[in-house]
Structure 1
Amino acid sequence: MNQTSCFSPAHILLPAEQIPLEQWGCVACDQFTSDRSYWERAAEAAAGSPSALNLILPEVYLEESDVPARVAKIHETMEDYAHNVLTRAVDGFIYVERTERSGRVRQGLVGKIDLEAYSYAQGARQAIRPSERTVEERIPPRMAVRRGACLETPHVMMLADDPACTLIEPIGARKNELRKVYEGELMLGGGHIAGWAVEDPALLARIDAALQGLGSQEAFDAKYPEARGAKPLTLAVGDGNHSLASAKAYWEELKPTLTPEQRETHPARWCLAEVCNVHSPAIEIEPIHRVLFNVDCGAVLLALITWSDGNMAGICFGSSKKQSFTLAGPHIANVLSFEDPVAPLTVGTIDEFIEYFMARHKEARVDYVHDEPAVRALTKQGGVGFLLPPFEKSDLFKGIVMGGVLPRKTFSMGHAEEKRYYIECRKIIE
Structure 2
Amino acid sequence: MKTSCILPPVVWLPKQLSVSSWAVPGATAAGWSAELHQQILDMQSGQPTMAELTLPSALLHRVDTSRRWEQVLEQTKKSLPELEPLPRGYLYLRRTTASGVLREGLIALLDLEQYSFEPGNTKPVRQPVPLAVQQVIARAKMREESPLEGSPIRLICKYNQEELFSSLRWYSEQAPCLYQGELILSGGHLQAWLVEDSQLEQQITHLFASKDGELVMVPVEGQEALAGAAAHWQCCKEEGADLDSPYRYCLVEVGSAFAPEVVKPMHRLVMGIQGLVLEQQLRTWCREQGIEVHSHPVEQAVPLGLMYASWEKWLYLKDKAGLPGVCLLEAFLADYLALHPMCSRDAVQEKEELEELTQYGHTGVLLTLSGEQLLKGIQAAGVMPAASFAPASIAESRFELECRSLMGLER
Compute the TM-score of the two structures, normalised by the length of structure 1: 0.86
Distance 1:356 1:137, change over 3 A: farther
CA offset digits 1:35-54 (Å, max 9, x no partner):
54432321211222221111
Deviation at 1:160, TM superposition (A): 1.8
Query: Does 1:279 pair with 2:276?
Result: no
Deviates more, 1:163-172 or 1:47-56: 163-172
CA offset digits 1:251-303 (Å, max 9, x no partner):
111111225xx1x210010000011122234x443322111234444553454
SS at match of 1:416: coil
| Aligned residue number for residue 135 of structure 2 | 138
Query: Does 1:268 pair with 2:247?
Result: yes
Query: Does 1:402 pair with 2:402?
Result: no
After the TM superposition, list the runs of 4 or more consecutive aligned residues in structure 1 that deviate by more than 6 angstroms.
Answer: none
| Aligned residue number for residue 224 of structure 1 | none
User: In the alignment, is the contact (CA less than 8 A) between 2:33 and 2:59 conserved in 1?
Assistant: no
Distance across 1 between alignment mates of 2:285 and 2:9: 51
SS at match of 1:41: helix
SS at match of 1:410: coil
User: In the alignment, is the contact (CA less than 8 A) between 1:24 and 1:46 conserved in 2?
Assistant: yes
| Aligned residue number for residue 77 of structure 2 | 79
Distance across 2 between alignment mates of 1:195 and 1:316: 46
| Aligned residue number for residue 223 of structure 1 | none
User: In the alignment, is the contact (CA less than 8 A) between 1:71 and 1:144 conserved in 2?
Assistant: no
Distance 1:47 1:32, change over 3 A: farther
| Aligned residue number for residue 47 of structure 2 | 49
Unaligned runs of 5+ in 2: none
Distance across 2 between alignment mates of 1:76 and 1:128: 33
Distance across 2 between alignment mates of 1:183 and 1:61: 29
Of the candidates 230, 237, 240, which is equivalent to residue 222 of structure 2? 240
- Identity of aligned pairs, percent? 25
Distance across 2 between alignment mates of 1:114 and 1:50: 29
Distance 1:37 1:75, change over 3 A: closer
Distance 1:70 1:119, change over 3 A: same
Unaligned runs of 5+ in 1: 218-229
Deviation at 1:181, TM superposition (A): 2.3
Distance across 1 between alignment mates of 2:138 and 2:340: 33
User: In the alignment, is the contact (CA less than 8 A) between 1:22 and 1:186 conserved in 2?
Assistant: yes
Distance 1:338 1:206, change over 3 A: closer
Deviates more, 1:19-28 or 1:313-322: 313-322
CA RMSD of aligned residues (A): 2.6
Deviates more, 1:130-139 or 1:142-151: 130-139
Compute the TM-score of the two structures, normalised by the length of structure 2: 0.89
Deviation at 1:306, TM superposition (A): 5.3
Distance across 1 between alignment mates of 2:200 and 2:283: 56
Of the candidates 348, 354, 358, which is equivalent to residue 369 of structure 1? 348
| Aligned residue number for residue 225 of structure 1 | none
Query: Matches of residues 161-200 of structure 1 in structure 2 within 5 Å?
Result: 161-163=158-160, 165-200=162-197
Deviation at 1:351, TM superposition (A): 0.7
| Aligned residue number for residue 118 of structure 2 | 121
Query: Does 1:147 pair with 2:127?
Result: no
Distance across 1 between alignment mates of 2:188 and 2:87: 23
SS at match of 2:130: coil
Distance across 2 between alignment mates of 1:285 and 1:67: 30
| Aligned residue number for residue 14 of structure 1 | 13
The one-letter code matched in structure 2 to 1:255 is: K
Higher RCO (CA 8 Å, separation ≥ 6 residues): 2
| Aligned residue number for residue 351 of structure 1 | 330
SS at match of 1:97: strand
| Aligned residue number for residue 429 of structure 1 | 407
SS at match of 1:92: coil
The one-letter code matched in structure 2 to 1:68 is: S
The one-letter code matched in structure 2 to 1:118 is: Y
The aligned length equals 406
User: In the alignment, is the contact (CA less than 8 A) between 2:95 and 2:103 conserved in 1?
Assistant: yes
Distance across 1 between alignment mates of 2:45 and 2:402: 19
Distance 1:3 1:194, change over 3 A: farther
Query: Matches of residues 384-403 of structure 1 in structure 2 within 5 Å?
Result: 384-388=363-367, 390-403=368-381
The one-letter code matched in structure 2 to 1:335 is: W
User: In the alignment, is the contact (CA less than 8 A) between 1:266 and 1:429 conserved in 2?
Assistant: no
